[in-house]
Amino acid sequence: MQQGPLRGRPYGGVMTLISRHFSTVARVICATDRYVVVVVGMMLIINTYLPCSGSDDRLDLCEEILDNLSLAISDYPNHQVIVGGDLNVDLDSCCSVSMLINNFVVDNKLTRCDLINHDVRLSTYYNEPLGHSSNIDYILVGNIDHVLGYSVLDPNVNLSDHRPIMVCYHCSDLNLRVTDNGSDNANSSSTRCIPQLRWDHANLDLYRNTTDVLLRPLFDYVQRIELYPSVSADMINDVYDYLINILRQASDIV
């Protein structure tokens, strides 16, 4: 038996985590060491990890994986498709693996999220000691109009040589099952739920841009009242309430 804390992380493999809130409408379609396919309501979510350069029979393995993923997509023609993961190749490069994946993207009518956000300048893979960086992690979607935002994150604490990538996607209908009293399972009236903001899961670029726009009128107002002979408590309370509402509105968006 292992004694003491485990350190490090396992090599390879994929994992998909789904909130308990969606447990009644989520099911696993297939799970292997290279890809996991799950359905959440009317969404088909695929998490994949393709072989890296130097792997034995890399091209054959990639072709087999992509064929299986294409079959899974074809089995759910009415679902919104999201494919994400470490593809281990730059899709803008010219090689047999990138051509194979780009054909998969075209055949399944998918779109790369990184192409819709030209403000993203961070690479998804970086090795600081060696000075290496590249873009080998991607999110592909079937309906680009449902993408609310895409970002490459750069958290202060990151034990991986890959930066997390995130997409905000609009889900119109998940067909959530309700309890007998008509309330959602995750929102039981018997328990007071205080939301906790997960900034490591948020689109920080979108949050910054949103607050920048919404706070400008407040900034102008504060500059004006600074010129007043006196500032009342009501004016200070108004500024405070306005600021809190803006921050709440921006956090709801991201």
Render pLDDT for 129-182 as a digit per residue (tens, 0 to 9): 777 888 899 999 999 888 888 888 888 777 788 888 888 888 766 554 433 333
Token match 């039981």: residue?
188
pLDDT at 157: 76
Crossing angle of helices 233-253 and 204-225, rounded to 10°: 170
Token match 């895409």: residue?
150
Average pLDDT in the 66-94 region? 94
pLDDT at 184: 43
Domains by residue range for the chain, with CATH: 20-169 (3.60.10.10), 194-253 (no CATH)
21 contacts 185 by C-beta, under 8 angstroms: yes
pLDDT at 183: 40
Q: What are phi and psi of 37, to 5 degrees?
A: -120, 125
Average pLDDT in the 203-229 region? 80
